[in-house]
């Protein structure tokens, strides 16, 4: 009998998690390198420095937004992998595709920080979020279909995982569509959505999201 | 019955620890990228290089100070997580907020290194340390209140964790207040405080800090 | 009796895996830093930004190709280490050599992105892939010869691991040879090979690769 | 009874190992960022690119040397931690000091690559290696003295760990002293020493090092 390489490759969920943690850690930290310290020659005194820092505020906001995005998707991936009993090469490659989208986040973020008023930049950013959501959704579908999730996992868990991604992506798409008005509306809407997901309200209508 | 996503999200303390280790590792290493090698064109001979390196000494000191800060907070977070039995999504997000403050450290450090005589830079740096302390304090309050810490954990441990953060933050605030005199006093004071925490004296009045 | 240091050094496969995951994570993320956001001064309006982004497309393709390469070799290394029961200093150093070749990947990638039409750049890139393959092949030979692999591992597994590397390297070498025509043929061929390995077809002639 | 914070802080050897792996991974990868791809404007055709790459060769050699240094010390730290049963805050801080020296390595390496003919640069590099060795030696002394190492560890293991560090540091110091002749002698000597440690000959006089 012949064993094919594909049957033995990429089975370690632990190493996939470790690579993901490392990659998220680097992406989250690299984002901030875009916050450049003002050049010393241009700054004379406290007031000038305060002005220069205030001028950095929009970039800090964009950075915060991207950190939230990465945090949300890191939690999302973790939640999935916590319920996966074993991996295979296909699941591994789905997650590598997910990680590829993660590595593009610092670029999309810089782009939006640099061109905050242009729709093109906002749409690129949204496409990045969309890719993250679609791949994560696909990852769960595949893991469930291929019997890789933990035995006896309740259908309600499956439903909760799928529903969260779909609702979130509908909200992000709504936010992106708001750029028909202007890009600041989009950014504001997306940040509000993200803060709701971060805070995770326990009751009221927001708790249903 | 319906399971809500929030009930199953972000439960892995191990992955939170792994993400934190990765993020601290990147932040600690990125700090040093600010130490720029002198340009070859400007250096002619050993004496010139020695001069250029001596001129880098203040930056090295600021870098060392930030490495100590990150080290102290890494130990602090580790100590907390070592006593946490399980996570939930709220604890995870509190720690993601903590990690956000960690990623800002390279920026605050560069800012202070560039504008070592300006109070604005020093206060930004102190606000960063304050944020780290406040979030870490909140994390322990939450974990204790939500029953996430190990069972049977002694009240004296709770007290030790809380007390350490409060005393340290009072000292850091004192250091920051010293910038009323000048920023070098602040930096000197903060470094001394940090060295005490690093050395961890076992007896005498300093052992009570 | 005297114990020599070499007999006790580098025995932890877990730490080797952790270092590898961290290093791959950094290399995969650093690749993308090469995707530079267009300068704001040069861009006036949506159309100009779209043009600038379109101009980045070849770089994105090269980046994708390198991410795939690193992904393929990460899976390859993981698959080997999953079957290794224990390490020794020689195995550790073989993998450190492998990781050295991994760290060169961002350089080779930048080089090819910058000089996409030059054969020299393509051959440097191929030499990098060749080094990764040769070292990984050597690692398995050594682990098998030194009795470090799991007991009772089937000969078919050994064969599958070796065969995969050899077939893949023959294909990469073919791709590199195509630069006799021009470098775009080489890049296209290599990307197709990589996509086949990523998708991992389950039947047909491609499944035999 | 009062528990002091210092008694419960920094006890996880696993997290110390994870932070170290992350930090080494970043430092090893950042080293290579110094290998800059030649500017496209200056290169016209294959021959010019080959020349430019050849001109990078000395930098590649310095980079390789630093990768070997970091690899050697990573193996050294791993070997120690593999024999440590539990940590405490003092051991943690000794290793954080060690990691601080690791983060300086990319700077020392860049400095030496830039000023390869100047003794000052070589001595800074050597001081960095010396610091790594001294702290690692101190770490083992402390761990052994504080009863943190595994029970029943043979005295010959203690001896092997200590001897390795001392012999290596004597050789590195000899290499550094050779810069009295010129820096290339030093670099050549150090690389030979490192290669011996990497290869780890099993017999002959070199096996005793």
Q: How many whole angstroms separate alpha carbon B135 and alpha carbon A38?
A: 28
Answer yes or no: is pLDDT of A151 > 90.
no
CB contact under 8 A, C3 and D32: no
DSSP assignment letter at A117 = T
Answer whether A157 sits within 8 Å of B10, measured CB to CB: no
Average pLDDT value for residue range A105-132? 93
In whole angstroms, what is the distance from residue A167 CA to residue A206 CA? Answer: 12
CB B159 within 8 Å of CB B150:
no
pLDDT of residue A94 exceeding 60? yes
What is the average pLDDT across D65-75?
A: 93
Tens digits of residue pLDDT in D13-33: 999 999 999 999 999 998 888
What pTM, to 2 d.p., does this model score?
0.93
Q: Give the pLDDT confidence score for residue A139 in this predicted structure.
A: 96
Q: How many other CB atoms are there within 10 angstroms of residue D168's CB atom?
A: 23
Q: For position D204, what pLDDT does the model report? A: 67
Give B32's contacts in chain D (Cβ within 8 Å): 103-104, 106-107
Q: What confidence score (pLDDT) does residue B1 get?
A: 47
Contacts of C among chains (3+ CB pairs under 8 A): A, B, D
pLDDT at D195: 92
Picking from D21, D33, D43, the nearest residue to C18 by CB comes out as: D21
Q: Could you tell me which of C99, C17, B33 has the C-alpha nearest to residue D18? A: C17
- Distance between CA D117 and CA D119 in Å, rounded? 7
Q: Which of D141, D19, D85, D168 is nearest to C6 (CA)?
A: D168
Asked if B25 contacts D23 with a C-beta cutoff of 8 angstroms, the reply is: yes
What are the structure tokens assigned to B35, written together? 């130490």
Q: Where are the alpha helices (H) located in chain B, listed in sequence order?
A: 5-8, 13-31, 46-82, 89-114, 119-145, 155-177, 183-199
What is the CB-side half-sphere exposure of residue A1 using CA atoms within 13 A?
4
Check if the beta carbon of residue A111 is closer than 8 Å to that of residue C37.
yes
Residues D4-42 as b or e (16 or more Cβ within 10 Å = b): bbbebbbbbbbbbbbbbbbbbbbbbbbbbbbbebbeeee
C93/chain D closest Cα distance in angstroms: 7
Q: What is the distance between the alpha carbons of residues C111 and D36, in angstroms, rounded to a whole number?
A: 9
Close Cβ partners of C44 (under 8 Å, ≥ 6 residues apart) = none
B149 φ, ψ (degrees, to nearest 5): -80, 165
CB spacing of B96 vs A35 below 8 angstroms: no
Q: Is B58 on the interface with C (CB under 8 A)?
A: no
Structure tokens at B181: 């005199």
CA distance B190 to B172: 6
CA distance A83 to A38: 46
Instruction: Enumerate the residues of chain B whose CB falls inside 8 A of the CB of residue C15.
Output: none
Contact between D87 and D9 (Cβ < 8 Å): no
User: Angle of helix B13-31 relative to helix C13-31, nearest 10 degrees?
Assistant: 60
Cα dihedral D35, D37, D38, D41, rounded to 10, equals -150
* 8 A C-beta contact, residue B183 and residue B115: no
Mean pLDDT split into 10-residue runs, chain B, 209 residues:
71 92 95 85 90 90 91 94 91 96 93 91 96 96 92 86 92 94 92 90 69
d(C-alpha C38, C-alpha D19), whole Å: 35
Q: Is the ipTM of this complex over 0.95?
A: no
Residue C91 confidence class, pLDDT cut points 50, 70, 90:
very high
How far is it, in rounded angstroms, from Cα C55 to Cα C61?
11
Of A9, D71, D166, nearest to C15 (Cα)? D71
C23 CB neighbours in chain D (<8 A) are: 25, 28-29
Distance of residue D114 Cα from the nearest chain C Cα, in angstroms: 18
Angle at D196 between CA D190 and CA D197, to 5 degrees: 90
The two three-digit tokens of residue C149, written as one number = 């692999």
Are the C-beta atoms of residues B38 and D113 closer than 8 Å to each other? Answer: no
Q: Nearest to residue A61, comparing CAs of A174, A195, A154? A: A195
Average pLDDT of the segment spanning D96-117: 93
Question: Mind listing the pLDDT tens digit for each residue in D151-185?
Answer: 888 888 888 889 999 999 999 999 999 999 999 99
pLDDT at res. A12: 86
A 107-136: CB under 8 A from B = none
User: What pLDDT does C152 receive?
Assistant: 82
Please state, rounded to an integer, the average pLDDT across all residues of chain A: 90
CB proximity list for D2: less than 8 A, separation 6 or greater: B156, B159, B160
Alpha-carbon distance of D30 to D105, in angstroms, equals 10
* Rounded CA separation D102/D107 (Å): 10
pLDDT for C1? 47
B115: distance to nearest CA of chain A, Å?
7
Task: Measure B188 CA to nearest chain A CA, in Å.
Answer: 21
Q: How many inter-chain contacts (B to C, CB under 8 Å) are there?
A: 4
């Amino acid at each position: 009998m012949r064993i094919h390489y594909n049957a033995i490759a990429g089975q370690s969920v632990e190493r996939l998690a470790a690579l993901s943690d490392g990659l998220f850690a680097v992406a989250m930290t690299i984002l901030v390198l875009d916050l450049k310290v003002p050049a010393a020659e241009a700054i004379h005194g406290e007031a000038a420095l305060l002005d220069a820092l205030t001028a950095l505020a929009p970039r800090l906001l964009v950075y915060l937004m991207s950190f939230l995005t990465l945090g949300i998707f890191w939690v999302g991936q973790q939640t999935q992998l916590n319920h996966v009993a074993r991996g295979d090469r296909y699941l591994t490659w789905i997650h590598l595709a997910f990680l590829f989208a993660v590595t593009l986040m610092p670029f999309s973020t810089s782009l939006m920080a640099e061109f905050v008023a242009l729709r093109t930049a906002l749409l690129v950013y949204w496409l990045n979020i969309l890719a993250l959501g679609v791949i994560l959704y696909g990852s769960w579908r595949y893991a469930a279909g291929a019997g890789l999730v933990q035995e006896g996992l309740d259908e309600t868990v499956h439903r909760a995982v799928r529903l969260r991604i779909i609702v979130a992506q509908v909200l992000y798409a709504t936010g992106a569509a708001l750029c028909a008005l202007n890009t600041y509306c989009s950014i504001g809407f997306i940040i509000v959505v993200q803060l709701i997901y971060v805070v995770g309200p326990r009751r009221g209508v927001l708790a249903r999201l």
